[in-house]
């Protein structure tokens, strides 16, 4: 048989001394990810009404949650429970002594049965053992944005969300 063509041999690949491989370290990658996250949060906040808008949503959701809690306590205990709000003092009180403050940046309006108020300027929504309620609504607003919380008088259902145009 004949001879095979000779295969040239290659020397092993070596990195020349004094040079480093190029690339990103884990720390550099984490900094880039953190920077992108910060930019995303700032952009989302600016697009959704800023800090006051976030405050409006948070307070609106908290009050709606406490209204639902008060209704649940009325059903669970079989006794009428009240949710009291004082727009002037910017405070609210729910069942079992739960209470909170409304930030000064938010405007508060209450509409409900005047007969249930326990003091001048306060509003009250009563929840009954069968789940029904006296009904009422709480409006929160700031800088052109508004949040509505509505309690149905027959079902006691609590609905909350941003105010829609035309309402």
155 Cβ contact partners less than 8 Å away, ≥ 6 residues apart: 131, 132, 133
CATH class of the domain comprising 51-162: alpha beta
pLDDT digits (tens, 9 = 90+) for 35-91: 999 998 887 766 655 777 788 899 999 999 999 999 999 999 999 999 999 999 999
pTM of the shown model: 0.68
Nearest Cα to 57, choosing from 146, 136, 137? 146
pLDDT tens profile 116-165:
777 788 899 999 999 999 999 999 998 878 999 999 989 999 999 988 65
- Beta-carbon count within 10 A of 46 CB: 11
């Amino acid at each position: 048989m004949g001879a095979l063509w000779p295969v040239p041999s290659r020397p092993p690949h070596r990195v020349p001394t004094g040079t480093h491989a190029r690339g990103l370290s884990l720390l550099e990658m984490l900094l880039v990810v953190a920077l992108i996250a910060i930019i995303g949060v700032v952009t989302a906040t600016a697009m959704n009404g800023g800090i006051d808008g976030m405050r409006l949503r948070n307070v609106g959701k908290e009050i709606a949650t406490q209204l639902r809690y008060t209704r649940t306590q009325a059903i669970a205990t079989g006794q009428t429970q009240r949710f009291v709000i004082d727009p002037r003092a910017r405070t609210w009180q729910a069942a079992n002594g739960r209470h909170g403050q409304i930030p000064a940046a938010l405007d508060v309006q209450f509409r409900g049965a005047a007969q249930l108020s326990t003091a001048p300027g306060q509003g009250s929504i009563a929840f009954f053992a069968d789940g029904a309620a006296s009904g009422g609504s709480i409006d929160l607003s700031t800088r052109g944005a508004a949040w509505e919380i509505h309690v149905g008088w027959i079902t006691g259902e609590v609905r909350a969300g941003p105010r829609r145009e035309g309402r």
